[in-house]
């Protein structure tokens, strides 16, 4: 791959600025505060510098960074996808990077931003009405569906399970339509939020990641790791993405539903999320997270050609990151 150690160090610094943590891998800090405009501006500049350095560098193998205070690190596991990253959510240190600044379609990883943005606008108990156009959008677009029934009104909390577990494009459409207001307005807010978070190599074209005429949108493993760290700071979103199976009983406003999570990493020791994705253009993707020795590690795999292998690779990266990060 083309990335060298220097760009990865810059990337680690940028991520540390964004998440509000100090750069050293061993540092422990208080709970981060919301980033100021000045901090976000500094983050954007650092990310731009990192991207420019990566682009200018010549081809090099995937780089695993040595960790402060550790002895010689073991060799990282083999990654078969087109891009990957593993970061320490507490410190912002990049444990592993391979083509992490490469722009690619990300399929349903898009829904993480949808969930993140909805929770900035809505309360978990707010009701969202499902309309025929939401079900039709998923059906005609060939997307995965939560099989939401038009006329039902579900709480935002339940809609997040419908969005993130079965990866419902119908749920994504309903949420975007409600909280845009309008789908186009919501997508514009997604892109504005991405810029605010310093995700300068990300462009969303819809709320679900389905292919669109002319463009599928794009992001990078690095940008999705930044989003993953932020998303998992929300207790509800962390709970949702860590759930393997969810049932909501029939109420006066909606019928009963049961959804299973497409993330086969869940059930592994310490796994806490995050989101799967697939389209023909994107291949198989996975945003994942796991706790190792009291630390949360967040990773992203893009462009994998074998569905099951992404979960094996994620598990191996988490185990390896836990060993070398002490």
Residues annotated catalytic, as ranges: 108, 111, 167
C-alpha dist (Å) from residue 193 to 143, 177, 198, 204 = 24, 17, 9, 11
Distances (CA, A) of 72 to 79, 84, 285: 20, 22, 30
Q: Residues 204, 217: contact at Cβ < 8 Å?
A: yes
Cα first-last separation, the chain = 27
Which pair of tokens denotes residue 17?
């600025």
169 closest CA partner among 192, 193, 136, 191:
136
Q: Are 236 and 227 in contact (CB under 8 A)?
A: no
- The neighbouring-strand residues paired with 278 are 284
CB 209 within 8 A of CB 107: yes
**Distance (Å, rounded) from C-alpha 190 to C-alpha 59?**
33
Could you tell me which of 126, 130, 24 has the C-alpha nearest to residue 67?
24
Instruction: Tell me the Ramachandran region of residue 293: left when phi exceeds 0, alpha when psi lies from -120 to 50, beta otherwise.
Output: left
Interacting residues of 136 by C-beta distance below 8 A, sequence separation 6+? none
133 neighbors 185 (Cβ within 8 angstroms): no
Both tokens of 300, joined, read: 């992203």
């Amino acid at each position: 791959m083309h990335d060298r150690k220097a760009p990865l160090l810059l990337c680690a610094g940028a991520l540390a600025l964004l998440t509000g943590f100090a750069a050293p891998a061993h540092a422990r800090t208080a709970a981060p505060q919301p980033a100021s405009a000045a901090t976000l501006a500094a983050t954007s500049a650092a990310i731009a510098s990192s991207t420019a350095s990566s682009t200018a560098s010549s081809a090099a193998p995937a780089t695993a960074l040595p960790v402060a205070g550790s002895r010689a690190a073991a060799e990282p596991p083999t990654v078969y996808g087109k891009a990957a990253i593993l970061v320490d959510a507490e410190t912002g240190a990049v444990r592993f990077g391979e083509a992490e600044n490469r722009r690619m379609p990300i399929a349903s990883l898009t829904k993480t931003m949808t969930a993140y943005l909805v929770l900035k606008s809505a309360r978990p108990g707010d009701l969202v009405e499902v309309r025929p156009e939401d079900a039709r959008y998923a059906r005609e677009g060939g997307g995965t569906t939560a099989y939401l029934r038009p006329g039902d009104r579900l709480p935002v909390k339940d809609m997040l399970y419908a969005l993130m577990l079965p990866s419902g494009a119908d749920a994504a459409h309903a949420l975007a339509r409600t909280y845009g207001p309008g789908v186009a307005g919501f997508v514009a807010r997604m892109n504005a939020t991405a810029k605010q978070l310093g995700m300068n190599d990300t462009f969303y074209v819809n709320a679900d990641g389905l292919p669109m005429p002319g463009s599928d949108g794009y992001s990078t493993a690095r940008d999705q790791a930044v989003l993953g760290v932020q998303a998992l700071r929300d207790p509800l979103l962390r709970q949702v993405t860590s759930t393997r199976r969810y049932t909501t009983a029939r109420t006066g406003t909606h019928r009963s539903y049961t959804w299973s999570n497409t993330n086969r990493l869940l059930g592994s020791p310490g796994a806490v999320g995050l989101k799967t994705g697939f389209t023909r253009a994107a291949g198989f993707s996975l945003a994942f997270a796991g706790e190792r020795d009291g630390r949360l590690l967040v990773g992203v795999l893009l462009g994998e050609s074998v569905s099951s292998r992404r979960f094996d690779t994620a598990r191996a990266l988490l185990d390896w990151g836990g060993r070398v990060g002490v």
